[in-house]
Amino acid sequence: MTDLVAGPLDRCVEALPRRYPGPGGAVAVLRDGEVLVRHAWGFANTARRIPFTPRTLFRMCSITKQFTSGLVLDAFADPTVLDADVARRLPLLQEAPPGALHLCHNQSGLRDYWAVAMLLGSPIEAPFGDTEAARLIGATHSLHFTPGTRYSYVNQNFRILSDILEDRTGRGFAELLRTRIFDRAGMETAFLAADTRAMPDGTEGYEGSQASGFRAAENRILWTGDAGLGASLDDMIAWERHIDATRDDPASLHARLSAPVAFADGAPAPYGFGLGRGVEFARQVFGHGGALRGWRSHRLYVPAERISVVVMFNHLSDAHGAALDLLGAVLGAPAPAAAPMLPDPAWLGAYIEPETGIAARLDMAGGAVRLRFGHSGERLVPLPDGSAGTGRTRVIPRADGQWMERPQENQASRLMPLRGPAATDIAGNYRCAELDATLTVVDAGGTLYGGFAGALGQGQMELLDPIAGDAWALPCPRALDHTPPGDWTLHFTRDAGGAVTGVQLGCWLARRLRYDRVG
Residue 1 has pLDDT above 70, yes or no: no
Q: How far apart are the first and last CA of the chain?
A: 69
What is the pLDDT confidence band of residue 164, given thresholds at 50, 70 and 90? very high
Note the pLDDT of residue 335.
72
- Which helix (H) or strand (E) segment is 379 a member of? strand 378-382
Look at the alpha carbons of 441, 442, 448, 454 in this order and tell me if their dihedral is positive or negative: negative
Residue 134: count other Cβ atoms within 10 Å of its Cβ. Answer: 13
What is the pLDDT confidence band of residue 291, given thresholds at 50, 70 and 90? very high
CA 257, CA 239: separation in Å to the nearest integer? 14
Domains 349-417 and 428-517 agree in fold: yes
Average pLDDT over residues 505-514: 95
Q: Please list, residue by residue across 25-60, b when 16 or more beta carbons sit within 10 angstroms of its beta carbon and e when fewer do.
A: bbbbbbbeeeebbebbbbbbbbeeebebebebbbbb
The domain ranges of the chain are 3-109+145-331, 349-417, 428-517
Q: Mind listing the pLDDT tens digit for each residue in 3-49?
A: 545 789 999 999 999 999 999 999 999 999 999 999 999 999 999 99
Residue 482 has pLDDT above 80, yes or no: no
Note the pLDDT of residue 481.
75
The architecture (CATH level 2) of 349-417 comes to: Beta Barrel (2.40)
Residue 252 has pLDDT above 60, yes or no: yes
Pairing relation of β-strands 388-389 and 378-382?
antiparallel
Residue 253: count other Cβ atoms within 10 Å of its Cβ. Answer: 23
Q: Mind listing the pLDDT tens digit for each residue in 28-39?
A: 999 999 999 999
What is the pLDDT confidence band of residue 375, given thresholds at 50, 70 and 90? confident
Average pLDDT over residues 277-287: 96
Cα 50 from chain centroid (whole Å): 30
Amino acid residing at 365: A
DSSP state of 383: -
The packing angle between helices 3-19 and 319-331, to 10°, is 160
Q: Which of 255-264, 410-419, 444-453, 475-484 has the lowest mean pLDDT?
A: 475-484
> Rg of the Cα trace of the chain?
23
Q: Check if 162 is active-site.
A: no
**Considering the entire predicted model, what is its pTM?**
0.95
Task: Using alpha carbons only, give the angle 512, 518, 519 rounded to the nearest 5 degrees.
Answer: 130
Q: Check if 65 is active-site.
A: yes
What is the pLDDT confidence band of residue 391, given thresholds at 50, 70 and 90? confident
Mean residue pLDDT of the chain comes to 95
Task: Tell me if 290 sits within 8 A of 227, measured CB to CB.
Answer: yes
- Which helix (H) or strand (E) segment is 244 a member of? helix 233-245
Note the pLDDT of residue 366.
84
Catalytic residue among 65, 108, 122, 258: 65
Task: Tell me if 490 sits within 8 A of 471, measured CB to CB.
Answer: yes
* CATH 3.40.710.10 assigned to 3-109+145-331: yes
Structural fold of domain 428-517: Lipocalin (2.40.128)
